Structure 1
Amino acid sequence: MLRKFPVIIYALLIIVPLLIVVLTSMKTMQQTFQNPLGVPDDGLVFENYAAIFEEQNMAGYFANSVIVTIFSVTFTLLFSSMIAFGITMLNNWLGNLLFTVFILGMMVPAQVSMIPLYSLVLDLGLTNSLVGLILVNISVTLPIAVFILTGFMRTLPKELIEAAVIDGAGNWKVFSRVIIPLSLPSMSAAAIFLFVIHWNDLLYPLLLVTEDDYVTLPLALLQFQGQYSTNYPMLFTGVIIASLPMVIAYVFLQRFFVAGITAGAMKG
């Protein structure tokens, strides 16, 4: 029992705040202040979930987040897999130099590049656009994806690549027919990781978006916070709606995520 005690404490630290968020999303403001941690005597309400779509452009914000996240994850994986393959195939000082450059890119805090990044996007005319958000997301998370995929591709048997080359396969065929199928577990793990980053991103929409038509979900949630008060029931309702895609994605892709994070350990 003593060995399970830390696990129980950790579970409570996760479950209790989650229950508070769920319960608060089904309360009115008055019920929240009268009974912030429990179930009110007059019962829970579910109008917040309908009201958040009726009073806010939540469907539009949700669609913007979906578009930005899907395109950002897709192109980041595409470019990073090609770069990781190139670094792996070079397998010399030049490949190590390129890999080091991307590693250094992970060390630059986002806050340091905010002003030059905004100036660049402004000069390109891509502020207040989903395309601008997608391009920024790709550039910011590309080093992380390259780091993950390069580490996995370096564990792949060199004999498979050599056999494909002997059979007459060019670099593109080796990449598309040998490397990509073998790297699917690692790419799935990277996809989930990137999905969480892009879906929850608040910094760059806050920096680059001022028009309501291009607002994403994390930025939309700030609308429920005022200078003097916060609409906690509506805010927590928005949090739950924004969290559902991540929960669904993890439920259906968890076996790929587990396979991806353990694949490197199972090699050689």
Structure 2
Amino acid sequence: MKLTKGVLSAIYALLIIIPVIVIFFATFKSTSEMYKDVLGLPASFGFDNYLTMFTEESMSTYFWNSVIVTLISVGMTLFFSSLIAFAITRMSGWPGRILFGLFTLGMMVPAQVNMIPLYQLVFDLGLTNSLTGLILVNISVTLPVAVFILTGFMKSLPSTLFEASRIDGASNWQMYRKIAVPLSLPSISATAIFLFVMNWNDLLYPLQFITDSDYKTLPLALLEFQGEYMTNYPMLFTGVIIASAPMVIAYIFLQRYFVAGMMAGSLKG
């Protein structure tokens, strides 16, 4: 049984690693070299494609747009969702259940259903072709998911801690800041990684609300390398590697928080 699991794990790992290696090697090839030998090694390991991305393709602008949108969206979503989750757990009876149910319903509505009314709302507010509009949309879309995750964790916190702090004269804000948030850090960290991936990789909403090249994010900018009759795969793969690098780096340094948050949620659920 152990041997079978090991073989299956090795096959699964190869299925993941081989495409990544092929894509990485392709970033060092020219278009003609790519079409001539897809799986072969590049003739030279020059960084021409990477330099071109940042000097001729405005990749630095797209990169920083993604950074700004992602960091602000994740930060604001975590702040509001933790406040809402704390409020839900402190509300007794049906009001808390109804509020939690409303956010849960928000997770059940497909994004495609909201596209037209959401675009009309953003257009009426004059926030199309702006990072501000994109940030507000991201917050509204990801808030139900974050509330759902954090509420499940905060419900498991001992109520005696809040009762004791209330007796000592602590306000709701003090209980949120000094008790709920510190104890929920594992779950908040795991939620932050989840939200980071969602916002960083999002293509639907930038494609819907952004047409000005000055406000494009990385996923939207990568579409420029796909033509009707021919696709510049070396440049496209170079953009994919650049876009994936922050997520890989973030996961390497934050994986212990992600695992701790998942384990905490499963044990306390």
Q: Give TM-score scaled by structure 1 length.
A: 0.97
Partner of 2:5, secondary structure, is coil
1:63 & 1:51 partners in 2: Cα distance? 17
* 1:120-135 mapped onto 2 (5 Å cutoff): 120-135=121-136
SS in 2 for 1:4: helix
* Distance apart, 1:45 and its partner CA: 3.3
Aligned residue in 2 for 1:166: 167
Which is further off, 4-13 or 142-151?
4-13
In the alignment, structure 1 residue 153 sits paired with structure 2 residue 151:
no
User: What RMSD in Å do the two structures reach over aligned CA positions?
Assistant: 1.0
| Matched letter for residue 74 of structure 1 | G
1:54 counterpart residue number: 55
Q: Which amino acid aligns with 1:201?
A: D
1:140 is aligned to 2:138: no
Give the Cα separation in 2 of the matches to 1:3 and 1:51: 44
**More deviation, 29-38/134-143:** 29-38
1:26 counterpart = 2:9 = no
TM alignment of 1:63-74, pairs within 5 A: 63-74=64-75
| Aligned 1:91-240 pairs, distance under 5 A | 91-240=92-241
CA displacement at 1:133 relative to structure 2: 0.2
| Whole-angstrom CA distance in 2 between matches of 1:193 and 1:265 | 16
Name stretches of at least 5 consecutive residues in structure 1 with no aligned partner: none
1:10 aligned onto 2:12: yes
| Structure 1 residues 181-209: Cα deviation after superposition (integer angstroms, max 9, x where no partner) | 00111000000000000000111110001
Quick one: distance in 2 between partners of 1:44 and 1:27? 8
Which sections of structure 2, spanning at least 5 residues, go unmatched? none
Aligned length: 267
The one-letter code matched in structure 2 to 1:33 is: Y
Deviation digits for residues 27-52 of structure 1, max 9, x if unmatched? 11111111101214x33432111111
SS of residue matched to 2:126: coil
CA distances 1:89-143 after superposition (whole Å, capped 9, x unpaired): 0132111111111111001111111001000000000000000000000000000
Q: Tell me if structure 2 keeps the 8 A contact 1:185–1:263.
A: yes
How much does 1:2 deviate?
A: 2.3
Asked whether the 8 Å contact 1:27–1:233 carries over to 2, the reply is: yes
Q: Which amino acid aligns with 1:77?
A: L
What is the CA–CA distance in structure 1 between the aligned matches of 2:92 and 2:153, rounded to whole Å? 14
Aligned amino acid, residue 29 of structure 1? T
Amino acid at match of 1:112: V
Shift of 1:4: 0.6
